[in-house]
C-alpha cells in the first residue's frame, strides 16, 4: 500500500552516480543492500527442555507469535567506509523460556564481523541456559515470576548473557586486534518487556501514540560511567574513553579491559548491559531496536511517528524496517544500520483514510515531478528534483520522515 511515486520518477529521469544517494531513498522497493532474512515460513525451530518444553524460534527476517506479537528486521551499510560499513546482523525475535510464551531479539551495533557469531549464537545460548535454570534456584526463572517473585532472575540472566558473550569473544579474539560492538536486546514475556542495552544501540517503546520509554546511551560523561572509568585509572578526553572510544560500554574493545584485579563490569569499558523491566500494557504499540546509524539520522520521537504512520498504511514490519533504513540513507547516515521492529496487538492497524491520503500524496508528487521535467531545458537530476520539492510546501508528508521517506 502507499506506492512510492519516486520509483517512477527514477525511471523517467534516469540516474547518475552522484544522484544514487537520492534515488536509493526514493526507490519504490526495498534496497538490495538491506538484507532481510526470511527462512522457511520465516522461522526455524529447536527444542528447549526444562520443567516444560518450550520452542526456541530463530526468526530470520519476519514472524508472528501465537500471542499476536509480530516482528520484522532489516540491516544495511551506511555511506561511511571501512569497518563501519560492515553489516551487523540482528537476531529476530525467538521464543525462550522466561515465559510461558516469551520471545528474545537482539540488535547489534557497528562492529567487527566476528561479533555476529557471538551475538547470534553464544548470547542466546547462555540466556536460554540461565532462563531455564534460574540463578542457583534449581527451577526456571519464569516459574519464579509466575509464583509472584521479583523479576531479578530474568534481569540477572540478561546481564550474565552479555558478560558471558564478551568472555567467549575474548577467548576467540585474535590477540591485539581492535574492534567492538554495541548491542540492544529485547525479551518479551506475557507480563513484562525486558530491555538490555550496552553502548549506543537504542530501543524506544511507543505506547498509546507516544514514546513511553527510551534507552539512554552509555557515554563516558554519564556520572556512573565517569566514576567507573576514573576508578579504573582511565581518563576522558574529547568526551571519549582515553580520547578514543565514544561509548563506555561495548562487547569487545579489549584494549580497554586490561586493568589487573578488576572484574569485567569495572573495567574502563564494560560489557555489562543496563537492563530495564517494563510492565506490559494493552496500550503498548511497538518497540523499535536499532543501531546508532539509525538514531544518527532520526530522533526517537521522529522514528516513533514514522513507524506509526507507516503501520497505518498496512506495511509489514520487515518492509517498514527497509523503508526506515532507506529514509536514514537519504538523510545521510554514515554508519551501518540494523533495526528490529516488534509490534504488539495494540499497534496501529491499516486505515482507509491513511491509505487514501498516501495515494493522493503520491499522485500530487508525481504530477509535480512531471511539471519539473517538462519545464526544464535539460532532464533534471534526481538531486535537483529533490531539492526543489524540499523547498516547497507539500502537505501530508509522512510525519517524522518527510520527503526523505518518499
pLDDT of residue 123: 67
pLDDT of residue 99: 38
Distance between CA atoms of residues 281 and 289, nearest Å = 19
Distance between CA atoms of residues 134 and 113, nearest Å = 31
Report DSSP state, residue 55: E
Using a cut of 0.95, tell me whether the model's pTM lies above it: no
How many C-beta atoms surround the C-beta of residue 37 within 10 A? Answer: 16
Whether domain 31-350 has CATH 3.90.550.10: the reply is no
pLDDT of residue 94: 53
Q: What's the gap between Cα 256 and its chain centre?
A: 25
Distance between CA atoms of residues 396 and 274, nearest Å = 39
The residue ranges of every structural domain in the chain are 31-350
Helix (H, G, I), strand (E, B) or coil at 41: helix
What residues are paired with 94 via a beta bridge?
104
pLDDT of residue 79: 61
Q: Distance between terminal CA atoms of the chain?
A: 13
CB neighbour class for 223 (10 Å; exposed up to 12, middle 13-18, buried from 19): exposed
- Of 287, 119, 327, 109, which is closest to residue 203 (Cα–Cα)? 287
> Which residues fall within 8 angstroms of residue 13, CB to CB, at 6 or more apart?
373, 379, 380, 381, 382, 385
Tens of each residue's pLDDT in the chain, 406 residues: 222 223 322 333 333 322 323 333 233 333 333 333 333 333 332 222 222 222 222 233 566 654 678 888 877 766 654 444 343 445 555 554 433 445 556 555 555 444 555 555 666 666 666 655 444 444 544 444 443 344 778 888 889 889 988 998 888 877 767 788 898 988 888 889 999 999 999 999 999 999 999 999 999 999 999 999 999 999 999 999 999 999 999 999 999 999 999 999 999 999 999 999 999 999 999 999 999 999 999 999 999 999 999 999 999 999 999 999 999 989 988 888 889 999 999 999 999 999 999 999 999 999 999 999 999 889 999 899 999 999 999 999 999 999 999 8
DSSP codes, 114-135: HHHHIIIIIHHHHHHHHHHS-T
Amino acid at each position: 500500500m502507499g506506492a512510492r511515486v519516486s520509483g517512477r520518477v527514477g525511471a523517467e529521469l534516469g540516474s547518475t552516480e552522484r544522484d544514487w544517494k537520492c534515488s536509493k531513498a526514493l526507490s519504490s522497493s526495498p534496497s538490495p543492500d538491506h538484507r532481510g532474512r526470511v527462512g522457511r515460513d520465516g522461522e526455524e525451530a529447536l527444542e528447549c527442555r526444562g520443567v516444560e518444553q518450550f520452542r526456541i524460534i530463530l526468526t530470520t527476517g519476519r514472524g508472528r507469535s501465537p500471542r499476536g506479537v509480530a516482528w520484522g528486521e532489516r540491516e544495511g551499510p551506511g555511506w561511511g567506509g571501512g569497518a563501519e560499513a560492515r553489516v551487523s546482523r540482528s537476531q529476530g525475535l525467538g521464543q525462550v523460556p522466561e515465559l510461558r510464551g516469551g520471545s528474545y531479539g537482539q540488535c547489534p551495533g557497528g562492529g567487527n564481523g566476528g561479533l555476529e557469531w557471538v551475538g547470534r549464537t553464544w548470547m542466546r545460548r547462555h540466556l536460554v541456559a540461565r532462563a531455564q535454570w534460574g540463578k542457583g534456584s534449581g527451577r526456571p526463572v519464569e516459574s519464579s515470576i509466575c509464583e509472584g517473585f521479583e523479576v531479578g532472575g530474568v534481569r540477572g540472566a540478561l546481564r550474565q548473557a552479555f558478560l558471558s558473550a564478551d568472555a567467549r569473544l575474548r577467548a576467540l579474539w585474535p590477540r591485539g586486534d581492535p574492534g567492538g560492538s554495541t548491542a540492544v536486546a529485547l525479551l518479551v514475556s506475557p507480563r513484562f518487556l525486558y530491555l538490555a542495552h550496552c553502548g549506543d544501540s537504542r530501543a524506544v517503546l511507543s505506547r498509546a501514540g507516544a514514546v513511553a520509554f527510551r534507552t539512554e546511551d552509555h557515554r563516558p560523561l554519564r556520572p556512573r560511567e565517569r566514576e567507573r572509568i576514573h576508578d579504573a585509572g582511565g581518563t576522558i578526553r574529547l568526551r571519549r574513553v582515553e580520547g578514543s572510544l565514544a561509548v563506555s560500554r561495548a562487547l569487545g574493545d579489549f584494549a580497554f579491559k586490561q586493568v589487573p584485579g578488576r572484574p569485567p563490569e569495572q573495567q574502563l569499558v564494560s560489557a555489562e548491559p543496563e537492563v530495564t523491566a517494563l510492565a506490559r500494557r494493552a496500550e503498548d504499540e511497538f518497540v523499535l531496536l536499532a543501531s546508532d546509524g539509525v538514531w544518527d539520522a532520526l530522533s526517537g520521537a521522529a522514528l516513533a511517528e514514522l513507524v506509526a504512520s507507516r503501520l497505518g498504511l498496512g506495511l509489514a514490519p520487515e518492509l517498514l524496517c527497509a523503508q526506515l533504513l532507506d529514509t536514514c540513507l537519504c538523510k545521510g547516515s554514515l554508519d551501518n544500520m540494523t533495526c528490529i521492529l516488534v509490534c504488539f496487538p495494540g499497534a496501529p492497524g491499516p486505515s482507509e483514510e491513511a491509505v487514501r491520503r498516501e495515494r493522493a500524496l503520491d499522485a500530487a508528487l508525481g504530477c509535480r515531478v512531471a511539471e519539473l521535467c517538462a519545464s526544464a531545458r535539460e532532464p533534471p537530476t534526481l538531486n535537483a528534483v529533490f531539492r526543489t520539492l524540499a523547498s516547497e510546501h507539500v502537505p501530508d508528508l509522512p510525519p517524522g520522515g518527510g520527503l526523505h521517506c518518499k
